[in-house]
Structure 1
Amino acid sequence: MGNQQAMMRQAQAMMKKMQKAQDELAAKTVTGSAGGGMVEAVVNGAGEFQSITINPDAVDPDDVEMLQDMVVAACNEAVRASKELEGEMMGGIAGGLGLPPGLL
C-alpha cells in the first residue's frame, strides 16, 4: 500500500510540473519570418498566433500571391519554432513518464 501512495505522490508532483511548464510555455513567444524579414509571425509556446507583421514594402498589388506565400512561410516557421520550444520544455517531464517526445 505504501508503494501505491508513493506512486500517487510522484504522479501528482509530475502533474504539477507539467502544469507549470505548460503555463511557462504559453507565456513565451517565438518568431518566424520570411522574405528577409518582410513578414513576421509571432506564436506563443502553446502554438497560438500572437501577431503577424507585414512590411509595407512587401505589399505589391500586382503580386499578391508572393505576399500570401511569405505569410504562410512565416507562419509555418513560427509554428515549427513553437513546437521545438515545447519539446525542449516538456521533454524532461515526458522522459520522467517514459513517454516518447511529442506525445504530450
Structure 2
Amino acid sequence: MKPDLKAIFKQIEKVQEELEKVQAELEKKTVTEEAGGGMVKVTANGKREIIKIEIDKEVVNPDDVEMLEDLLVAAVNKALQSADKMINEEIAKATSGLLPGLGGLPFGFPGFKA
C-alpha cells in the first residue's frame, strides 16, 4: 500500500500553519529569571531575545565589577534556557498528533533541542 502523499502534504501544511501561529504567539510571551537572590533579573521573549535587564543598585559596586558580570551571565543563561523550554512546550502543544512518529516536535526549529 502506497502512502497517501496528498494527505501527508496536507498534514505538513497544517503543521507549518500551526508553527507560524506559535511563532507569532511566542513573540509576545516572556520569561524572567534572576541571579544573586533577585539582585539581577533578565527577561527574554519567545524569540530568544533579551528584552529587559534589571539590576539592583546594591549590586553595582565599582570595586567588584566581576561579580556583577557573573550575575548578568548567570541570569541571561537562565532566561535563555527558560525561553527554550517555553518554545519547546508551545511547539509540542501545537504539533502534537499532527505528525505521528515525530513526537510532535519539528526538527530544525530554532530553539528545538533533541
Distance 1:95 1:85, change over 3 A: farther
Corresponding residue for residue 21 of structure 2: 20
Q: Is 2:7 aligned against 1:6? A: yes
The question of whether the paired residues in 2 share the 8 Å contact of 1:38 and 1:58 is answered with yes
Q: How far does the alpha carbon of each residue in 1:61-98 deviate from its partner, in whole angstroms, 9 at most, with x for none? A: 11110000000000001001001101111124277431
CA RMSD, 1 decimal? 2.4
Structure 2 regions of 5+ residues with no counterpart?
110-114
Higher helix fraction: Structure 1 or Structure 2?
A: 1
Q: Which amino acid aligns with 2:66?
A: E
Distance 1:49 1:58, change over 3 A: same
Count of matched residue positions in the alignment of Structure 1 and Structure 2: 104
**C-alpha distance in structure 2 between counterparts of 1:101 and 1:15, whole Å:** 12
Structure 1 regions of 5+ residues with no counterpart?
none
| % identical aligned pairs | 37
**C-alpha distance in structure 2 between counterparts of 1:102 and 1:43, whole Å:** 22
User: If the length of structure 2 is used for normalisation, what is the TM-score?
Assistant: 0.80
User: If the length of structure 1 is used for normalisation, what is the TM-score?
Assistant: 0.87
Corresponding residue for residue 37 of structure 2: 36
The question of whether the paired residues in 2 share the 8 Å contact of 1:31 and 1:41 is answered with yes
The question of whether the paired residues in 1 share the 8 Å contact of 2:91 and 2:104 is answered with no
Corresponding residue for residue 50 of structure 1: 51
